[in-house]
Structure 1
């Protein structure tokens, strides 16, 4: 195109991804490295880690117009209303200035009743951001947190300059779909993205929908990822998948933390227990879709386990265990800290801002959690404050 500059999309333009896969169309950011992906046991995690939550293109340019060709894969649920299109946030010199969504792309439809899925292929789409100021500026394009996104081509109406130096404190976070950003308004307004902005840190988000399951390959990925601050949010997926019993939980947490410490022996490390989720506070999983709500055009969840079975994990048991484990490790690990997730979202908050599907927070609650995490973790005297720029 006359007057436009095409720039190859390479690792140095991306932040928040641990790997970049070459595809037939372009490049696909991943949030787990190739070695870990070869050990992924299920499609849920394979999908979640390829959804680029927290991943953004970072450019320095005088361009007044930017075009990005992408091939998205959007999720849909059989019998439920169509999900909103994924959002791309354009931030200039730290401020949100525009949003856009891609057209075309693939649609992967999941039947929650049977677990089956089918993908309908679609074409590459183009995003356009125009009417930008002509001064030299730092530009971030945050990719949709809930759509697999292959990056095909990048064009600007002025050349890119050297990318901004990566000099800020890096915060590495792992958690569930809530950390992934489920039901957030946009990729830069998930609670971890909001907390990172308020805390002045650079986010690497390993929040994986349905898949914060103490997997050893995730711990090894965290061990091997450079980071100045680390947090792990543990609990809800272990309950709603009914993955393990109480006997296995403690050793699994110790092993996960031990592996992280192999690569980050003195890095501030914050263990966060689950936010309030009333259906699972005292009732084990597995969680199941409420088929009656699907019939009404909504997706909500039920807890189906037996509350009388003391071997099963519930959120209150997980909080007790995490508090005990971190306290037991503290004498040998003074940089390990614990935060009760109900400080981020508790009983009073549920009364004012209920969880729409009984598990996931809405956009307003993401903001609340992000603000509280920034205050309690990155604020003065917080466990992740010491090494912050």
Structure 2
């Protein structure tokens, strides 16, 4: 006879999840979304459709005496044709806020992306079960952070003791929007993306609307920010506008004003920080679009280059330096009537000296050590004494 404890199932409901704006009921379970259904209906871009359903910052949070927690999940893993395999997504376990375990799922679906043609294909695979055991039988808060870079359908939750939602601890909610760097690209795990690290250091609850390749000042994203309860808000924008070559300076300035106007409709006095891009040498003074380095791909490496011409800035093409200057000007102009609006130059998070010590491995995205540095610096600049997000 087995000595393993008997497990009982608990329905996975919205009160056990944090960081998602919507939950889609599927044939198997629940699929967390980081954009509401209305926004998704207005989106026609496949990149954003993939990014918003990757649950960066989404976590299962429960109060329990359980010594064993099992979670049935169906992941969807990304594979880039011709590129080296990506590591499996990581599920981080926290107990009373401290790291207590880590797991990855085998099986699942596979999304195959051909960067040369832009095409994609999904291959179906089986579900998997994560098991965390050996936990204390004391009452505790248990969090399972879902992979920031791997779509995860939640199928079933089983424990050897009753589960209940974690009571409100009175922590402030930080709502953040940004690009793939905010999404967590190339971070080691979901709790070590720079926003997750900064939130932990700042003692706040994170809602992460960082979308890989998709911080493009979309009006439906602004409305999602407007309609989401928050005590602190940050908007980090710029790099995606350059590497997609999405707009010129003439369109950029009113788009930023419109985005901020929409956010302010729902949060008229909430501390709001506009964050410009971190240093990215290939695009500091060279416009986009960004292009995959096919020579690097043929050698089994993923790397990017700038495909624009610096001379094109005369016609309004955007570079990171142009964007930083305009964002600083816009915030200064608006702050005369909006004292709770603040600006942070992204190079204070990652600048020239950092680029020498910790260069961006693919020329666009920071590695795990750089995520930690950015998170620590953001926490110090925003949440600690004198920061825009400090205080009550």
Query: Do both proteins adopt the same fold according to a TM-score greater than 0.5, normalized to the shorter chain?
Result: yes
Q: Which residue does the alignment assign to 1:250?
A: 253
Write out per-residue CA displacement over residues 297-329 of structure 1, whole angstroms, 9 at most, x where no aligned residue.
110001001110121000000000000000000
RMSD value over aligned CA atoms? 0.9
Q: Which residue does the alignment assign to 1:106?
A: 109
Q: How does 1:24-35 map to 2 (within 5 A)?
A: 24-35=27-38
Q: How far did residue 5 of structure 1 move?
A: 1.5
* Equivalent position SS for 2:195: helix
Structure 1: gaps (5+ residues) = none
Write out per-residue CA displacement over residues 262-296 of structure 1, whole angstroms, 9 at most, x where no aligned residue.
00000000000000000000000000100000011
1:174 aligns with 2:177: yes
1:347 aligns with 2:352: yes
Q: Which residue does the alignment assign to 1:127?
A: 130
Q: Which residue does the alignment assign to 1:5?
A: 8
318, 324, 343: which one aligns with 2:323: 318
* Equivalent position SS for 2:163: coil
Write out per-residue CA displacement over residues 248-274 of structure 1, whole angstroms, 9 at most, x where no aligned residue.
000000000000000000000000000
Q: Which residue does the alignment assign to 2:373?
A: 368
1:220 aligns with 2:223: yes
382, 385, 389: which one aligns with 2:387: 382
63, 88, 93: which one aligns with 1:90: 93
Q: How far did residue 2 of structure 1 move?
A: 7.3
Task: Could you list the structure 1 runs, at least 4 aligned residues long, displaced by more than 4 angstroms after superposition.
Answer: none
Q: How does 1:1-389 map to 2 (within 5 A)?
A: 3-165=6-168, 167-310=170-313, 311-387=316-392
Q: How far did residue 103 of structure 1 move?
A: 1.4
**Aligned length, in residue pairs:** 387
TM-score by length of 2: 0.98
C-alpha distance 71-282 of structure 1, shift in aligned 2 (>3 A)? same
* Equivalent position SS for 1:332: coil
CA distance in 1, matches of 2:391, 2:242: 33
Q: Is the CA contact 1:138–1:164 (under 8 Å) kept in the aligned structure 2?
A: no
Greater displacement, 235-244 / 304-313 = 304-313
CA distance in 1, matches of 2:5, 2:374: 46
Q: Is the CA contact 2:16–2:165 (under 8 Å) kept in the aligned structure 1?
A: no
Q: Is the CA contact 2:5–2:160 (under 8 Å) kept in the aligned structure 1?
A: no
Q: Is the CA contact 1:58–1:164 (under 8 Å) kept in the aligned structure 2?
A: no
Write out per-residue CA displacement over residues 138-176 of structure 1, whole angstroms, 9 at most, x where no aligned residue.
000000000010000000011113433252100000000
TM-score by length of 1: 0.98
CA distance in 1, matches of 2:6, 2:137: 15
CA distance in 2, matches of 1:58, 1:279: 40
Q: How far did residue 386 of structure 1 move?
A: 2.8
Q: How far did residue 100 of structure 1 move?
A: 0.1
CA distance in 2, matches of 1:167, 1:221: 23
